[in-house]
Amino acid sequence: MKEPQPLVFTGTLILPDRLLSNGIVVCAGDRISAVGSAGEFAIPRDATVIEAGSGYLAPGYVDIHVHGGANADYMDGTRAAVITANRAHARHGTTSIFPTTTTGSRAQIDAMLRAARAVRDDGGVENGARVAGVHFYGPYFAEDKVGCHIVSGRRDPDPEEYQAHFDLGIVRVATCAAELPGMEAFFREASRRGYFCTCGHSNSTWTEMQRAYDAGMRHVDHFWCAMSSVPSVRARFGTPSQGSMEQFVLMRSEMSTEVIADLCHLAPELLEFAYAMKGARRLCLVTDANRALDMPPGRYRFGAEADNDWFESDGRVGFIPGGGLASSIVGMDTMVRNMKTATSCGIVDAVRMGSLTPAERVGLDADIGSLAAGKRADILCLDTDLAVKRVFIGGREFEGRT
């Protein structure tokens, strides 16, 4: 394959701590070689120059919690499903993606992990967002907090099962509900392997969270969704009222969390509250998008197409019949824009929460997450409303925008 011409981007750069107008990003192959003010670096004569015009240059987004898109769910368990979803998310600015398992049979989860691994090993900009690892999310959910996931597919942690899944070498983020028997061994093993450990779909108490924390857990999935509160813990144990996941995350500076900023799951004041309490270094934006992303309103399955429950998309969000939300149907571009317009965080922190912060939390910030020399050339051209105009993944333009 012919090497691409050197790429140079000029315009207003969105850096992790500030905007830099008249900025320049020089790429060599799949990496960024220099970032600075225009005039600081000579532009190679044969370079292709991409000008952001009145818009912005941003790092590609990093989504650590996402189920699918364009009518594909990662749990469909095929390479085609992974690629279809990854291409859909690339159109929305995600360049590093963590396909996320749900509840389901061991065979379904195994198929999903193998499919994600095969697509990761293929690489290729035409496959859309690059698989940076799998988020092993289901099946270790608490029965009373399964939310939109099929309850028959949940179970308690089984070391024989998760070791086999972990041994496939594709998991990078690991979720378990903190009240389940075997939780500590699960988090210890995941930590030992260097995974980012998170608690979700859980009705755990402060004490259970502390045990999980001691075993390496440092994050809670989709804050205020399918998680415990003081009243929900009181329903388990009565009085005195005990602390819940909410207090644990807010009190512990090392704990991070994530929000679904589609304005359907959480009202603006909760997005503002989460940002004010945790700050941009401990709050991630995730899409948690399902297969109805970029699809018309209608009925879809959450999880594997074969046997999972239906939900309804109204074009804004997914619903479970009879109430309750079934995760989002919009991309990271919308989450970043909503965070900027609905809260006081500003453009720099809004982009950071969709890029560098998740990269830091999973330990990949030396490689991705910001416009910095040495990192992968994952670069977005955004317009003034933060709509994605062009997407570059590893220094190559993703052409599948339509």
Interface with Zn ion (CB under 5 A): 288
The label of the residue with tokens 């239906």 reads 310
Give the shortest CB-222-to-Zn ion separation in angstroms. 5
Give the shortest CB-15-to-Zn ion separation in angstroms. 30
Taking the least distance from each CB to Zn ion, the nearer of 20 and 199 is: 199
Give the shortest CB-149-to-Zn ion separation in angstroms. 7
Q: Which of 14, 1, 6 is nearest to 381 (CA)?
A: 14
Taking the least distance from each CB to Zn ion, the nearer of 288 and 378 is: 288
Q: What share of the chain is helix, strand, coil (3-state, %, to 5)?
A: 30, 25, 45
State which residue has the least CB distance to Zn ion: 288
Which CA distances in Å does 248 have to 118, 136, 213, 230, 253?
Answer: 38, 22, 10, 11, 9
Q: Please return the burial class of 162, using the count of CB atoms within 10 Å of its CB with bins 0-12, 13-18 and 19+.
A: buried
Q: Which of 343, 338, 373, 387 is nearest to 54 (CA)?
A: 387
Taking the least distance from each CB to Zn ion, the nearer of 285 and 381 is: 285
Give yes or no for a contact between 141 and 153, defined as CB atoms under 8 angstroms apart: no
Taking the least distance from each CB to Zn ion, the nearer of 288 and 360 is: 288
Which CA distances in Å does 148 have to 58, 202, 385?
Answer: 33, 13, 32
Give the shortest CB-334-to-Zn ion separation in angstroms. 16
Taking the least distance from each CB to Zn ion, the nearer of 140 and 398 is: 140
Using left for φ > 0, alpha for ψ between -120 and 50, and beta otherwise, residue 383 falls in: beta
Give the shortest CB-66-to-Zn ion separation in angstroms. 8
Give the shortest CB-148-to-Zn ion separation in angstroms. 7
Give the shortest CB-322-to-Zn ion separation in angstroms. 18
Strands (E), 232-288: 256-259, 283-285
Taking the least distance from each CB to Zn ion, the nearer of 208 and 288 is: 288
Taking the least distance from each CB to Zn ion, the nearer of 325 and 339 is: 325
| Residue 158 identity | D
Taking the least distance from each CB to Zn ion, the nearer of 12 and 100 is: 100
| Residue 206 identity | W
Which CA distances in Å does 269 have to 32, 108, 219, 341?
Answer: 37, 38, 21, 12
CB 9: neighbour CB atoms within 10 A? 25
Give the shortest CB-63-to-Zn ion separation in angstroms. 11
The label of the residue with tokens 């220094």 reads 395
Taking the least distance from each CB to Zn ion, the nearer of 12 and 204 is: 204
Give the shortest CB-232-to-Zn ion separation in angstroms. 16
Which CA distances in Å does 98 have to 121, 165, 208, 359, 369?
Answer: 14, 15, 27, 11, 14
